[in-house]
Amino acid sequence: MTHSNQQPSYDFIVLGSGIAGLTFALKAAQQGRVAIITKKHKAESNTNYAQGGIAAVTSQEDSFEMHIKDTCDAGAGLCNEDVVRTIISEGPDRIHELMELGMRFSEREIPNSGGEKELDLGKEGGHSKRRILHCKDVTGREIERALLHAIAMNPNIEVLENHFAIDLITSNKLGLSGNNKCLGAYVLDSKTHRIQTFRAPVVLLATGGCGKVYLYTTNPDIATGDGVAMAYRAGVPIANMEFVQFHPTCLYHPKAKTFLISEALRGEGGILKNLDGASFMEKAHDLASLAPRDVVARAIDSEMKRTGADHVNLDITHKAAPFTMNRFPNIYQTCMQYGIDITKEAIPVVPAAHYQCGGVMTTIDGETNIEGLFAVGEVSCTGLHGANRLASNSLLEALVCSHRAIERISNLKKEGALNHYDAKLPHWESGGAQDPDELVVISHNWDEIRRMMWDYVGIVRTNKRLLRARKRIANLKEEIHEFYWNFVLTPDLLELRNLAIVSSLIIESALKRQESRGLHYNLNYPQSSQSWQQKDTIIEPGSLEH
């Protein structure tokens, strides 16, 4: 790192320390100095909680064509087939690299081989073959361990924990002429409360998704859509935000805040049943409990509404207890803590917001419309997922696209682009900031947004509810705008502001798409429409106020 007038300067700034940010950082460190800025502990990310695994073609019985078809079928006509083909066919090489870094995938003994082993492949909804590489049911934790270990050994990488990226610094915002360029980011040190100006000719947004926009989510607290909000404010178009994936099976227990019951459990035979013990998925889809997620989440929602129940059950008691305990140790132990023995009783589950299929519009190389600004992972929208992500394709996308982003950056540098900007950048202006004596208002607005989004912009939507949500969010945004300029900035206030912007983007995208497709289901337009086929929903910068 060098300091220009107390403005830390690097070759690369990486915002986020999940799979996308860490993979990119390790490759970027071969070309220069890297700062990883991450708002909490370095392992705290959606990645860390991934259970099912990474989808990739590694078996003789599988093929790229089959994985491509499954991805496009789940994506309901909206996937970009070139992007799908490239990501799927480059997946195995990237997985190999991850294994070389020390990632340990689960293995199984090959039958009648005298003890020889092969990768154990799991199955999840929408996949026609077993193709999910996993580490039991704690795949994400093992990915973070392996990547963070490699990062710790790399002298070119500095990890700044408890550093919250507030906003990107762009040449247009500074009134400079020419192409819009990203020059760095303003970052709040949550421990010292100091706001610093970080500089770099390349900034990677790897800030993950926005599950916390909804009252019920499988996501940890970091998932507040900061990257999408920052990119939007900086001038990047945002695409397909109406496609919020609700995972069908989140543990339903008053003391469990967010705990996923992996789809892999259904892949190993788990069956969804109503509270009378009747299996209900056969009516909804040929693949029954292993249908694509949008279908399963809607079927559960409809079963709960039909019966008045507050959850359904997921039953794996017919499998041998040692198998279940060995294959799903984390799920087994966590449920046990809540008094549920999954080898003897069904697991109470409900759908919850899980994954953001839309996001910052990028090429498959993570490139945005702002020079030097890249986005990879859940924050981005490359065209892979279309209207509904196929299970376990997101870790794959992050691996492939972070590699491609670095290759693209090398080529741009060879062409003479992405140079350091030498002049001093303006410091953050805190305006007339004062201590927040109304913290309760911030937490009230947080709760209100999350409940409103759950009630009005959830699994099943209507125009009336979406319009009501639009009205509510406009009022809330006005209030938040006032706090923002009057109060000392805290992570809570910054997240609230970002949640409000992301909610607006979801609502506006949902209102734009006048049809039902994949994860977006609107009772006023229950069918898919030809005129929306292959059409992304794009919100241009500046079209929402604040």
Residues identified as active-site: 293
The one segment of 36-44, 176-184, 387-395, 514-522 that binds ligand SIN by CB under 6 A: 387-395
Q: ∠ at Cα 451 (446, 455), nearest 5°?
A: 155
Using CA atoms, how far residue 171 sits from 177, 183, 409, in Å, is 7, 7, 19
Instruction: Tell me the closest approach of the beta carbon of residue 263 to ligand SIN, in angstroms.
Output: 3
**Token digits of residue 537:** 């929903």
* Cβ distance to ligand FAD smaller for residue 263 or 515: 263
Q: Which stretch binds ligand SIN (CB under 6 A): 87-95, 236-244, 261-269, 324-332?
A: 261-269
List contacts with ligand FAD (CB under 6 A): 15-21, 37-40, 44-47, 49-54, 139-140, 164-165, 206-208, 218-219, 222, 226, 260, 355, 377-379, 392-395, 398
Binding mask 48-77 for ligand SIN (x = CB under 6 A): ---xx-------------------------
Contact flag: residue 264 with ligand SIN (CB under 6 A): yes
Q: Which does 226 bind (CB under 5 to 8 A by kind): ligand SIN, ligand FAD, none?
A: ligand FAD
Beta bridge partners of 434: 487
CB of 310 to ligand SIN, least distance (A): 21
Consecutive H or E run containing 117: strand 117-119
The helix (H) or strand (E) run that includes residue 122 is strand 121-122
Half-sphere exposure of 251 (CA within 13 A, CB side): 25
Contact pick of 391, 449, 469, 489 for ligand SIN (by CB under 6 A): 391
**Block residue for tokens 């993979």:** 23
Among 44, 226, 263, 303, binds ligand SIN (CB under 6 A): 263
The distance from CA 536 to its chain's CA centroid, rounded to whole angstroms, is: 18
Ramachandran angles phi, psi of 109, nearest 5° = -80, 135
| CB nearer to ligand SIN: pick between 392 and 516 | 392
CA 355 to chain centre: 5
Could you tell me the smallest distance in angstroms from the CB atom of residue 94 to ligand SIN? 16
∠ Cα 485 491 497 (to 5°): 50
Rounded-to-integer distance, Cα 544 and Cα 233, Å:
10
Name the residue nearer to ligand SIN (CB basis): 323 or 485.
Answer: 323
In sequence order, what DSSP letters do the residues of 194-221 get, joined into one string? Answer: -EEEEE-SEEEE-----GGGSSSBSS-T
Q: CB-wise, 50 or 84, nearer to ligand FAD?
A: 50
Least separation, in Å, of the C-beta of 47 and ligand FAD?
3
Q: Which does 17 bind (CB under 5 to 8 A by kind): ligand FAD, ligand SIN, none?
A: ligand FAD
Q: Is 411 exposed, middle or buried (0-12, 13-18, 19+ CB in 10 A)?
A: exposed
| Cβ neighbours around 274 below 10 Å, total | 17
Site for ligand SIN in 355-384 (CB under 6 A): 355
In whole angstroms, the minimum distance from the beta carbon of 227 to ligand SIN comes to 19
Binding site for ligand SIN (CB under 6 A): 51-52, 262-264, 355, 391-392, 394
